[in-house]
Amino acid sequence: MCGIVGIVGTGPVNQALYDSLTVLQHRGQDAAGIVTISDNTFKQRKANGLVKDVFETRHMQRLKGNIGIGHVRYPTAGSSSAAEAQPFYVNSPFGIALAHNGNLTNAKELRDLQTRQTRRHINTTSDSEVLLNTFAYELDKTEGTDLSADEIFAAVSRVHAQIRGAYAVVAVIIGHGLLAFRDPNGIRPLVLGRRKAEDRADRYEYMVASESVALDVQGFEILRDVAPGEAVYISSAGELFTQQCATANHCPCIFEYVYFARPDSFIDKVSVYAARVHMGQKLGAKIARQWKDLDIDVVIPIPETSCDIALEIAQILNKPYRQGFVKNRYIGRTFIMPGQTQRKKSVRNKLNAISSEFKGKRVLLVDDSIVRGTTSAQIVDMAREAGAEKVYFASAAPEIRFPNVYGIDMPVASELIAYGREVDEICQLIRADGLIFQDLNDLEAAVRECNPEIKQFETSVFNGKYITGDINDDYLAFLNNLRNDDAKADREWSEATADLELYNGEN
């Protein structure tokens, strides 16, 4: 998962881009980058690390200009090397820099095509570089140095016709403006806003970002979500153009509401907070129905996403809600931790139990989801060690049984605890006294209640139905090779070495 932002202002945009990336930091902590345009030149800074560590004063001073884009990365398709930090750049036509949130499911085919037919070179393993080159190739079909919004939209339409998967994109084109577009299913979010320019009564400044919270913080009025398949172009002079560039079939990723997005964001007119409250109400009702004979003394969230959910469950069950775990907010980066052993250790560093809330009690722990189950098992153990008499566990998301191919970093199927297992078996593995999952219908209803216009959601991790229709066993096997723990371990080691070389040769 990643976060993207783009701004066309009437004054310098570097600080606003930086601030927006810090607001979107929860969407990716692996790398960050900003590209601005000044004097017909791209100014760029990108590197591995958190926003606060990547940008120093000297970099910010360099990022001059009234137009720019930014990106925070959470690696999904593969590599975490510094060379794959975004935005990416091509020098022709015009000079384009692009940043992307999502995952292309036909990146491999497109890469082959680009090497053979269009003779373009892709220098990294990133699907975003493939996307950029596809767009550049299509934009190159225009003639002359002028570039109209219609020509840009026509190029975007041709891009839609070739690429598949999930993509929310921001790009800047030298001498022209800022472009943003969203895939025809609208799997990944993208929102558009504007504010009156302080120095020019006749102008608006425009902003696009992954989440509305980034616009709120910058004082931009939210105009609307970029529609699935729509493109938005804002010229350097501040004129806004929009066009539908592909037939829409809206199917937003439900996991944004479960786990990823900030609760103060609105995605596709749905308050993420309200959706989580509804998730708690639905799950609470299921627990009240199915566990009516169970004695529960206290409801305890596993911070932080599940706090809003757990509070609703406690109210429905008429039980006290207590913060039994404390999360260390200042935990540093965990260096190269590919396998299960290191991952296990890190949970204990992140969370600690307040034993008075557990001693002699029958506790109901609530989490937003169970993925590998490693965290859940350790948390159940911690609750017991803190003195809990019984430990029940509730997950606000249904069983995750299938890999994610649309930009969420999830393990391969075999590493998912619910893969090929039923609830009782999962319950035993996480060592709980009882386990309950949200039903998928209830999860969908929880979000849809906030916006009944959304007819379907991208829910493949729960039911294996991939909306783009192109996911077959071959692709899943390819993903398996890319993402399994051993593959990650090998890659992270070689990338760490490569990064070191890069670092030694850079700056």
DSSP secondary structure, 92-130, as one string: SSS-EEEEEEEEETTHHHHHHHIIIII-----SS-HHHH
**Residue 362 found at the interface with ligand AMP (CB under 6 A):** no
**Residue 371 found at the interface with ligand AMP (CB under 6 A):** yes
Write the CA distances from 370 to 146, 170, 209, integer angstroms: 52, 32, 28
Distance CA 47, CA 39 (A): 24
Distance CA 205, CA 202 (A): 10
Q: What's the first-to-final CA gap in the chain, in angstroms? A: 28
**Residue 259 found at the interface with ligand AMP (CB under 6 A):** yes
The length of the chain is: 507
Q: Are 69 and 34 in contact (CB under 8 A)?
A: yes
Contacts by 52-58, CB closer than 8 A, 24 or more apart: 52/22, 55/18
Write the CA distances from 456 to 260, 423, 445, integer angstroms: 19, 26, 10
One residue of 54, 130, 214, 302 binding ligand AMP per CB under 6 A: 302
Q: How far is the CB of 218 from ligand AMP (least distance, A)?
A: 27
One residue of 30, 129, 256, 368 binding ligand AMP per CB under 6 A: 368
Catalytic residue among 2, 251, 427, 450: 2
| Pick 134 or 374: Cβ nearer ligand AMP | 374
Q: Contact region for ligand AMP (CB under 6 A) — 189-197, 214-222, 363-371, 469-477? A: 363-371
**Residue 166 found at the interface with ligand AMP (CB under 6 A):** no
Please give the backbone phi and psi of residue 366, each rounded to the nearest 5 degrees, phi first.
-125, 130
**Residue 86 found at the interface with ligand AMP (CB under 6 A):** no
Q: Contact region for ligand AMP (CB under 6 A) — 36-44, 154-162, 315-323, 405-413? A: 405-413
**Residue 23 found at the interface with ligand AMP (CB under 6 A):** no
Does the CA dihedral 436-439-443-449 come out positive or negative? Answer: negative
One residue of 99, 159, 214, 408 binding ligand AMP per CB under 6 A: 408
Is residue 427 annotated as a catalytic residue, yes or no?
no
Q: How far is the CB of 462 from ligand AMP (least distance, A)?
A: 13
Q: Are 274 and 481 in contact (CB under 8 A)?
A: no
One residue of 151, 216, 409, 449 binding ligand AMP per CB under 6 A: 409
Does 30 belong to an annotated binding site? no
Please give the size of the binding site for ligand AMP, defined by CB under 6 A.
16
**Residue 321 found at the interface with ligand AMP (CB under 6 A):** no
**Residue 479 found at the interface with ligand AMP (CB under 6 A):** no
One residue of 97, 147, 370, 383 binding ligand AMP per CB under 6 A: 370
Q: How far is the CB of 408 from ligand AMP (least distance, A)?
A: 5
Write the CA distances from 441 to 307, 314, 396, 447, 459, integer angstroms: 22, 21, 12, 10, 11
**Residue 372 found at the interface with ligand AMP (CB under 6 A):** yes
Q: Contact region for ligand AMP (CB under 6 A) — 48-56, 165-173, 226-234, 362-370? A: 362-370
Distance CA 416, CA 410 (A): 8
Q: At what angle do helices 149-162 and 127-139 cross, to 10 degrees?
A: 130
Does 367 belong to an annotated binding site? yes
- Applying the rule CB under 6 A, the residues between 410 and 429 that interact with ligand AMP are 410
Residues that bind ligand AMP (CB under 6 A): 259, 302, 305, 367-376, 408-410
The residues carrying an active-site annotation are: 2
Q: Specify binding-site residues for Mg(2+).
A: 305, 367-368
